[in-house]
A and B are shown apart, each in its own frame.
Chain A
Amino acid sequence: MSTDASYGALLDAVRGVHWPARRAVVSAVAGTHHSKQRGTSAEFTEYRLYRQGDDPRRIDWRLLARSDRAYIRLATDRATLPTTIVVDSSPSMAFPMVTREKWRRAQEIAVGLAAVAHADGDPVGVALASDDGGIRIVPPRTRRGVVGEIARVIDATDPDSAGELGALVRATRTKRIVVITDMLGDDDLLIAAKVHIAGGGEVHLVHVVAKEEIDPPRRTLLAADPERPALQRLLIDSTRREYDEAFARWRADLARDWRSAGASYTEVVTDEPTAHAVRRIAEPPAYGAPRP
C-alpha cells in the first residue's frame, strides 16, 4: 500500500503544523529554526561595535555617517534541525493481539512527525530494531520521498524484535530524537536520553498507551507479559484497583523523570486521533498552559 493510501488522511491533517526546536540550534545549513549563530540575514536583530577581524562589508555605513562609530548589523540565522524518529518494535507494542492498535498508532505518529519535520525543511530519518536483532536506520534526509521511505520501512517491520531502545538512541547522531515507545522494558533509555540532552540534543518521548491497558476487560483475566511469558498475574476485582493505581503512578513518575531530564514527554492513548497527538507533540504548549 502506498504512503498516500495508508497515511493520506493523516498527512493532510498535519499539513501546516510546525515543529520548532525547543532551543536555538547550531547548524550551518539554513533552515527554519533559530540558530545560535548571528549572521547577515534580512531579519535584523541588533548592532554590535565593529571589532578587528569583522568583515568590513557588514558595517552599517549610514549609522557610521550619523554617529561616526562603526557598527556592524547582526541578524539571527535560521538553521535546520536533523531529526531521527526511534520507534519501539518490541512485542509489547503488538497489543491488542488482534488489532495491534499500539503499533499502528506508533507507526502513524512516526510518519506524521516525519512529515511535519520534513515540511519544516529538516532532515528526517527513522531508526528501529529489525526482526533479526539488528538496527534499521533511514538516515535523516530532506529529499522529497523520505517520508514515504520512512513509512515503507516502518510498515515492513513487525513488532517482535528484542532490540534495546537505549542502544538505538546512542547510535543516533542527530540533534533531535523522537522516541515512540510504550516504555515497557527499556530501562536504560532515560540514561541514553540524558546523555543526548547533555550533548546539546533534544529528546521527545512519545509514550504510547493502549486504552485496554488503562482499562482492561472487566472480567477474570490471567494476564501474561508478552515479553516475559513466565510473568502471569491474575486480574480480578480485588487486584484491579491496585493495578490502576500502580499503572497511573508509573506513568506519572515517567513523565516527571523525563521532563526533569530536559526531555519532552507526551502520553498518547490509542483512542486519541493521531493528527491530534502529532500536533500536541510538535507544537509546544503556551507558557502557563497545562502540560499534555
Chain B
Amino acid sequence: MSWLIPTALAVAGVGALATIALHFIARSRPVAEPLPTARFIPDRAIHARTRSVALTDILLMLLRLAAVVLLGLAVAGPLFASGGKISRIVLADRSRAVANVVAVRDSARAYLRQGDQLIAFDSIASLARTTTIDSIVATRARGSLSAAISSATRGGVRGAPTADSIELVLISPLAEEEADAATVKLRAAWPGRIHLVHVAASETIAHPARVELRAGQNDAVAAGLSLLPSLSASVRVVRGKTTPDDSLWARNGNVLVHWPATDVDADWAHRASIDAIGGVTTARATLVGRFPRPWALTGRVVARWADGEPAAVESVVGAGCIRDVGILVDESSDLTLRESFRSMAYELLAPCEGRRAITPLDAASVASLAGTGPLASSTSLRDRGTETSRWSPWLLVAAALALIAELSVRRASSRFA
C-alpha cells in the first residue's frame, strides 16, 4: 500500500496528538453552562482540575481522534497494490527507417498482452489499439525516439495506478536520425530499463559520401560547402552552367545540385519583376539575409522564400535527381560561413526525394538507451497531481459521521439531567 500524500499522515498524527493534548488542557477549564443559581457557588479559582474522567469525555475524545485520523487518511489517499502486476508499453516504429513494417507488427504482437499499451511512432507518437496491430503502416516521416519515449512516459502515468511495474518495449531499427538532443534527457526521465527489439533498417550506407564541387575560385558557396560534415549521398554541385554530362551523371542515381553563382549561369524562367527578399527556409534550417530573386522555379519544392515562393526545387531524372537552387549569395558576405548556412546546405544536398541513409545508432547510445536495473516502478510514474484514491471519499464520509456523532454526544452531555 502506498499513499498519494504521505505527509498528510504526519499532519494527521500531529493533529491527533494535539487533539489529545487540547482535550486534557481544555478539561482544566470546563465549558460554561447556564445555571441561574450560580451565585450560590463559592467563588474559587476556575482552573481546578477534575479528579474524575467522565465517560462522555472519553467518548468525545475518541470521536474527535477518529475524525482527525480519518480526515488525514482521506487526504493522504491510500493506494493499494495491484498484486505485482507488470504492465507493458510497446513502442512500434513505423518511420521511414524501418525496412519492413511487418516485422514490427510481428514483434509487437509477440509482446503485447491483455491490458498493455501500444504506441506507434514516426515523427509523432500516438496510442494505438492493441487489437489493430495490422493497422500500423510504414510512413515516410523521420522517426523520433524522443516523441516515442515521451509518449511512453505519458502512457506509464496512465497505467501506473493499475500496475506495480511498467516494462517498456521499443521495437525499432534504432537509426541515428531518430535520436536527437532531447532523446538522452527523455530517456533519463524514464525510471527503468528499456527492452530494445531490433528490426531491420530500410537502408544502410556503408561507404562515405562523395561530393563533387564545380565552382570558380573564391566561390563563397564552395567555401561554405567545404565545411559540411559527411553527406549521405553522391552529390555534384555545379555553380556554373550544367552540361549533358551532368545530366547523365544525375540519371545514374546521383544528386545534381545546380546552384548558379550568378543570374546568367542558369536558363530558368525569370520572374515578371525581380525583387529581393529577407530570408529563405527549408524543413530544418532558415537563412536570413538579403537575397535577389531573379527566377520563378517549378518542381518539388526543397526550399522556400520567406513569402512562400519556391527558392529551390527538385526534379527526378532517371534514377537520380536534379536540384535547382535559386539562392544567389553575395560573394562579399560571410553568410556561407555561418552555421545556419551549413544546416541549409545540408538539406539542399540531401539525397533525392528527401531520402536519407539510415545510419544505426552507435553501441554506446544503444546501451544508454536500453539502460540497466529493474523495470520502471509504478510509484515513480504516478502523477500525484491528478491521481486520486478511490478510498478517499469513503474515508471522508466516515470522518463526517464521526464529527456528527461527536456533535450529538457533545449536545447530549451538555444537557442537564
Contacts and interface: CB of A to CB of B under 8 A. Distances in A.
A233 interface: yes
A213 interface: yes
Contacts of B31: 222
B187 to A, nearest CB: 68
Contacts of A226: 34, 36
A219 B54 contact: yes
B42 A231 contact: no
Contacts of A237: 51
Contacts of A234: 30, 41, 44-46, 48
A216 B415 CA distance: 11
Contact of B30 (A92, A97, A221): A221
B30 A217 contact: no
Contacts of B44: 233-234, 238-239
Interface string B335-349: 000000000000000
B363 interface: no
Interface in B26-76: 27, 29-46, 48, 50-52, 54
A157 B138 CA distance: 90
Interface stretch (A40-48, A51-59, A240-248, A276-284): A240-248
Contacts of A212: 35, 416-417
Interface string A101-133: 010000000000000000000000000000000
A97 B37 contact: no
B129 to A, nearest CB: 66
Interface residues of B, number: 27
Contacts of B45: 234
A220 B50 contact: yes
A247 B48 CA distance: 22
A238 B51 CA distance: 11
A235 interface: yes
Contact of B35 (A219, A221, A236, A238): A221
Contacts of A92: 36
Interface string A142-184: 0000000000000000000000000000000000000000101
Contact of B29 (A184, A222, A225): A222
A273 interface: no
B38 A233 contact: yes
A225 B45 CA distance: 17
A88 B232 CA distance: 109
A239 B36 contact: no
A94 B396 CA distance: 39
B40 A217 contact: no
Contacts of B39: 184, 225, 231, 233
Contact of B42 (A98, A216, A222, A242): A242
B37 A213 contact: yes
A233 B42 contact: yes
B33 A184 contact: no
B34 A95 contact: yes
A222 B33 CA distance: 6
Contacts of B48: 234, 236
B35 A98 contact: no
A181 B242 CA distance: 126
A292 interface: no
Given A184-B39, A222-B30, A239-B42, 19 more contacts: A92-B36, A95-B34, A95-B36, A96-B416, A97-B34, A97-B415, A98-B415, A98-B416, A102-B36, A213-B35, A219-B50, A223-B35, A224-B34, A225-B39, A235-B35, A237-B51, A239-B44, A242-B42, A246-B41
Return the 6 tightest CB-CB contacts between A and B, nearest first. Answer: A223-B35, A233-B41, A92-B36, A223-B38, A224-B32, A220-B50
Interface of A: 92, 95-98, 102, 182, 184, 210-213, 216-217, 219-227, 231-239, 242-243, 246-247, 250
9 contacts: A95-B34, A96-B415, A184-B39, A213-B36, A220-B27, A233-B44, A238-B44, A243-B41, A247-B40
